[in-house]
Amino acid sequence: MARQRGRQPAGRRRDRGRPGGGGRRKPCPFCRDKVDFVDYKDTAALRRAMSDKGKIRSARITGCCRRHQSQLARAVKRARELALLPYVAER
């Protein structure tokens, strides 16, 4: 039985419509730079992990591994306590 031209099997047709349906995850920026511990005094790195409103972004957005994401959250909280970072954004 000959297959018709221009048609794909049903399985491939279903997968085509999903946006972001897989692929490789980007490496953790701290693992890539071989950082052992996220420093609370590095406000430039901490600001990249915060939203405009001042919230800590999730690991899915930052691309951090679980170990560095928890260190990052702890460092942001310490930096906020020492007034290096704001708790909320200015209006």
Domain ranges for the chain: 26-91
- Give the domain 26-91 fold: 30s Ribosomal Protein S18 (4.10.640)
In the structure, what pLDDT confidence band is assigned to residue 10 with cuts at 50, 70 and 90? low
pLDDT tens column, 29-79: 999 999 999 999 999 999 999 999 999 999 999 999 999 999 999 999 999
What CA–CA distances, in Å, run from 85 to 13, 16, 31, 52, 77? 48, 43, 24, 12, 9
Long-range contacts, stretch 57-61, CB < 8 angstroms, 24+ apart: none
Q: Is the pTM higher than 0.95?
A: no
